[in-house]
Amino acid sequence: MDAQTVAQVPHGAEAARDADGKPLSYVRLQFVFAEDRLAERQLMRMPEAKVLVREVIGADGSVRLLDADGKEHSLRKGTLAVAKAPDLKTGPYGSSGVAVAVSFRRARAKDAAAGQTENRRVAVR
């Protein structure tokens, strides 16, 4: 990895070993940045460091999906535009906090069993 790459690694995956002491295989998500923007997302099989799939995000707004061999499987053409920053001082909590959508795995499983699919919201103060 280099200074332009950030990796999201499953907790404990790098240290996990099988019964023979060999490293277990896992998938790591990598974010590659170019200048001030996200340029690529990669799924890599570790510890082999083999790229499984790449999503290349162009400066023009295009998004290409490439397989391990670099073959393009899809292309989405988009348009980039400057977005207005959200106003976090207004809302249900004023300037004392922000409402953030949080995923609760246990709660989600219970909700799914009950037929509910809404995201839960938690106030951060």
**The one-letter amino acid at 107:** A
- Which of helix, strand or coil describes residue 82? coil
- Mean pLDDT (whole number) for 8-26: 93
pTM > 0.85: no
Which tokens hold the place of 1?
A: 């990895």
The answer to whether residue 86 scores a pLDDT higher than 70 is: yes
Give the model confidence (pLDDT) of 28-78 as tens digits.
Answer: 999 999 988 999 999 999 999 999 999 999 999 999 999 999 999 999 999
Q: Is 102 exposed, middle or buried (0-12, 13-18, 19+ CB in 10 A)?
A: exposed
Which of 10-24, 58-72, 73-87, 109-123 is the least confident region?
109-123
Write the pLDDT tens digit of every residue in 102-115. Answer: 655 666 666 666 66
Query: Residue 123 above 50 pLDDT?
Result: no
